[in-house]
Amino acid sequence: MNIRKNKLLFIYSFIAIINFTFNTTAFAAVKNSISEDAPLYTFINFTSYIYNNYKTFIFIILGIICISLLDAFYCLVVKAREQSKYLKDLDLERERYFIVVEQLNDIIFDFDITEKKILSSSKFEETFGWTLNIQDYNKGFLNELKIHPDDKILINKITDDMKALNKQSIIKEIRLMKSNGDYLWCELKLNYIQRENKIVRVIGKITDIDHIVKEHSLLKLRSEYDQLTQIYNKSTFYEKVKNYIIDNKNDNCMLIFIDLDNFKSINDNLGHMVGDEVLKDTANKICDVFNGTDVIISRFGGDEFCVFKPSHSISFIKDKISILCNNLNATYIGNNTEITVSASIGVAFYPKHGDTLESLIHKSDIALYSSKENGKNQFTIYNKNLEIEC
């Protein structure tokens, strides 16, 4: 329908010809579409009707495309009967969709940002004990989902990166709060629908993975710790110390190598159960003396233990290790037998005695051997002369 004359007059004539009830928003949009600074084309989405002489609508107008360059309007019109069938089919598909959604173990939600409406499967309330009620995506979406504060920061960053990279979905493992205040590990998948660089719809899927995450965490802990003493095992000690050295190359650190004296006699005469208790006592005593977040303590194997930490003054180190030697000197009684267990200790400094973990272990082991040779129950700090003695 071409309009070469008075454009504003045409709008009113156009309305009169098709005889439909224009809402004010749609009318204003049509009017703006013929202004001097109007875009090349405008699509106005609305629903209206064309009636016959018997006041029965026979056509339905679903929208108008206004093309300013051609001075033309194009209407999308369908027959009423066809539209009715279309709506019935749409309702049926919608009903099928929600039936399927309700059968899923996953939680599905659909947030229409423009209309400020959200639909979610009933399983959401069953799982978390509260109902989604989001009014403003930009201000309330993450808050309403009750994401753990640490995870919310990460989700915000990922969302910003996603917008910058023009991605339309993200998947992340996060913690969501239940009504009782507990957090549940979930996999959150968000699919974004954008129009003109603005998010207009968010479709999400939430999968309960709490038991999987906790099981993996437990397995990871078991793989990192010595099961008897509950301190790091040898492989974890290697990993953490090497990472520390890489990240803190300029720090002065020390490695303390500890070997129990007479431990074999405990196992041979008092039994392995007593031996296990001795090892647990030893680990606890080491942790009591060398406490703090900057200390890495490990059962290195058998009756050997290692401590790695940032070093202090020589006098401080000597005082600490003297206390440890005194605490580890203990007598165990059983089967009419008394056995005294003590510790021989070797100390090496980073980077003075070695700039790798392997070299520090080697030097501290040499110092430990010297402690054994000189009567046990003492500590020795590495020096080059010890290698000559060995």
Q: Are 221 and 285 in contact (CB under 8 A)?
A: no
Give the pLDDT of residue 5. 44
Give the pLDDT of residue 75. 55
Condensed to tens digits (0 to 9), the pLDDT of residues 92-108 reads: 666 666 666 566 678 88
Give the pLDDT of residue 283. 97
305 Cβ contact list (under 8 Å, min separation 6): 231, 257, 258, 259, 282, 283, 286, 297, 298, 299
Average pLDDT over all residues of the chain: 78
Percent of the chain scored above 70 by pLDDT?
67
Condensed to tens digits (0 to 9), the pLDDT of residues 325-341 reads: 999 999 998 888 899 99
Give the pLDDT of residue 108. 82
281 Cβ contact list (under 8 Å, min separation 6): 330
Helix (H) or strand (E) run with residue 237 in it: helix 234-247
Report, as an integer, the average pLDDT of 276-302. Answer: 94
* 149 cis-preceded (ω within 30 degrees of 0): no
Q: What is the DSSP letter of 88?
A: H
Condensed to tens digits (0 to 9), the pLDDT of residues 42-78 reads: 555 555 555 555 444 444 454 555 544 445 555 555 5
Give the pLDDT of residue 69. 46
Out of 110-124, 196-210, 250-264, 268-282, pick the least confident: 110-124
The C-alpha angle with vertex 119 and arms to 116 and 124, in degrees rounded to 5, equals 125
Report, as an integer, the average pLDDT of 7-11. Answer: 50
Give the pLDDT of residue 1. 43
Locus of tokens 């051609």: 70
354 Cβ contact list (under 8 Å, min separation 6): 348, 360, 362, 363
Condensed to tens digits (0 to 9), the pLDDT of residues 130-164 reads: 887 655 555 556 667 788 888 887 777 666 666 66
Which domains, ranges and CATH numbers included, belong to the chain?
7-83 (no CATH), 105-212 (3.30.450.20), 225-389 (3.30.70.270)
- Exposed / middle / buried, residue 5 (Cβ in 10 Å: 0-12, 13-18, 19+): exposed
Give the pLDDT of residue 58. 45
Give the pLDDT of residue 353. 94
- Tokens of residue 359, six digits: 């070299």
Give the pLDDT of residue 33. 59
DSSP, collapsed to helix, strand or coil, labels residue 294 as coil
